[in-house]
Structure 1
């Protein structure tokens, strides 16, 4: 949920309002072709997960069909999603991620 914050400059007395960016969950989707090793590599290299956490998330995606693997502001989430999908295509996988607004 976005929040509006207000600050007032002590020197000028001007009130400034700014809005926190909306957050998005990066949802990883299961498929029958993308290898488990590739998924773990994406989680460790693009989403900064350690090996045990990446394996746990990969197994959750495998068993449940999908899982939230990260939460970022939109620009970061979309950049990471796109990088993962482009890498998957380059390696011949139909791997998919989607973004869900929190």
Structure 2
């Protein structure tokens, strides 16, 4: 299984991160706000744990949506230990 992480940056709005978390990762608004604050305070946070293929797809969806909205939001994948 693989973790998908979102990373903090100085340009992506908090509202956009919440939108990504609710839309791509299917988090509730409250969960999304909590994860967004973790990203903001700790520099990154886990958005979910998935099979490799699904993790790859979700990271790619984040990249595409961020690019469409001109944000540098970074999603990475790490093997879950």
How high is the TM-score relative to the length of structure 1? 0.77
Query: Which structure has greater strand proportion?
Result: 1
Unaligned runs of 5+ in 1: 1-22
Query: Which structure has greater helix proportion?
Result: 2
| Secondary structure in 2 matching 1:98 | strand
Partners in 2 of 1:62 and 1:36 — Cα distance? 8
**Cα offsets for 1:43-88 (capped at 9, x unmatched):** 0010010000000000000000001110000100110110111110
Partners in 1 of 2:63 and 2:13 — Cα distance? 14
Unaligned runs of 5+ in 2: none
How many residues end up aligned between the 2 structures? 80
Partners in 1 of 2:29 and 2:46 — Cα distance? 17
